[in-house]
Structure 1
Amino acid sequence: MINFKDITYLKEGTVRQKEAHKTLLELNVFQLLENYNPILVGTIPIDIDVESSDLDIICQSDNHEEVIKVVCENYGEFSGFEVRTISSYKNLKTTIITFEYKTFPIEIFIQNKLPEKQDSYLHMLIEHQVLLEENVAFKSKIITLKQQGFKTEPAFAKLLSLKGDPYKMLLTYGFEKGYIS
């Protein structure tokens, strides 16, 4: 299993993963956010990204303003810079900071929850395990659905015939299969 907590795995990956690694190093984002336990999640780490895929970095902090200040000081001048806070997601305050750097849209998510327990990380672990167990055609179908506009979790839910909220059902599926505990 890939250690997704250490981005060095990207150096040996696809062209896009290597570009992501280089970009993250240029931005020095993991060192800048090291006190907030950053983890790269999403489609790029598991090689199901499409051209518009972004770099999603999840972090943990009970002081969102502190993280916002650090990010603003370092990336506030970048194209598309925006900060928004959602207070209703699972009754958990979530701040999302977005900006663009070179060819990548970047999103930094802040919650006061261990990154390893955040849904986006758990979804990625489940999706990675499914991809390991399925064939290449399955992966191609996921990418095709994403190119057609599907978000990742709904694409997996469709191909796995999961009914209901795809985000919740994917977590349930992962728990039932023993992919996450």
Structure 2
Amino acid sequence: MFHTISYLKQGNTRQYRAYKAIKQLNILKDLMDYTPILCGTIPIGVDVKDSDLDIILEVNDFNHFKTRIIKLYGEHEAFTIKQIRIRDTPVIKTNFHYSGFEFELFGQAKPVHKQYAYLHMIIEYHLLKEMPKLREKVIHLKRQGMKTEPAFCEILGIKGDPYERLIEIGIEKGIIEWKTL
């Protein structure tokens, strides 16, 4: 379901606006070589006012990617690009504003369907389907400033690192497979 953004056309008002912004920017086509996938809170409907559009990418050559991103989006408001390490993995991250949204492009040398952002979204989507009342509780905690994964774990009474524990929950429930990682 999440490998295209067509589902956003039938979504809520914010999802439809996100669909239009992504299409106008042509970002999924421009970055097709990196297998872009929209992840995060907007696709699964637990976004709040400040939620951004997270697009994850498989990037193996950071220098080439950086040059391309600067050329494509460097003129947009609040443009930044930086290389960091997350969980001992090199990452390149770009942020900018377009059409009322903050975009965050998140690239690492890993297939997108194995990245935590994608896996968390899939797991959270299934949890929301399984427990519909969870949605409002997550949104409530997010409005208080809590990040998504910690909000899910707080509500579900899950202790430990929320990013790792959600993966474990996904494996336990059969939502994802260990070999996916």
* TM-score of Structure 1 vs Structure 2, range by shorter chain: over 0.9
Aligned to 2:94: 97
Q: Structure 1 residue 116 and structure 2 residue 113: aligned?
A: yes
Output the amino acid matched with 1:80.
Answer: A
Superimposed CA distance per residue, residues 16-55 of structure 1 (whole angstroms, 9 cap, x where no aligned partner)? 1110010001100000000000000000000010010000
- 3-state DSSP of counterpart to 1:93: strand
Counterpart of 2:54 (choices 47, 53, 56) is 56
Q: Secondary structure of the equivalent of 2:81?
A: strand
Alpha-carbon separation, structure 2, partners of 1:9 and 1:102: 19
Q: Secondary structure at the match of 1:5?
A: coil
Percent identical: 43
> Structure 2 CA distance, aligned partners of 1:97 and 1:85?
9
User: 2-side partners of 1:179 and 1:109: how far apart?
Assistant: 23
Aligned twin of 2:123: 126
SS of match in other structure, 1:180 = coil
- Runs of 4+ residues deviating >2 angstroms: none
1:78 aligns with one of 76, 80, 84: 76
Which residue number in structure 2 is paired with residue 169 of structure 1? 165
Q: For residue 141 of structure 2, what is the aligned residue in structure 1?
A: 145
Is 1:11 aligned to 2:33, yes or no?
Answer: no
Cα deviation for residue 91 of structure 1 reads 2.4
TM-score in terms of structure 2 length = 0.95
Q: 1:5 is aligned with what amino acid?
A: H
Structure 2 Cα separation of the partners of residues 44 and 69 of structure 1: 28
Counterpart position of 1:38: 36
SS class of match (2:45): coil
| CA–CA separation in structure 2 for the residues paired with 1:115 and 1:130 | 21
User: Matches of 1:16 and 1:29 in 2, distance apart?
Assistant: 18
Show structure 2 runs of 5+ residues with no match.
none
> CA separation in 2, counterparts of 1:123 and 1:138?
15
Normalising by structure 1, we get a TM-score of: 0.95
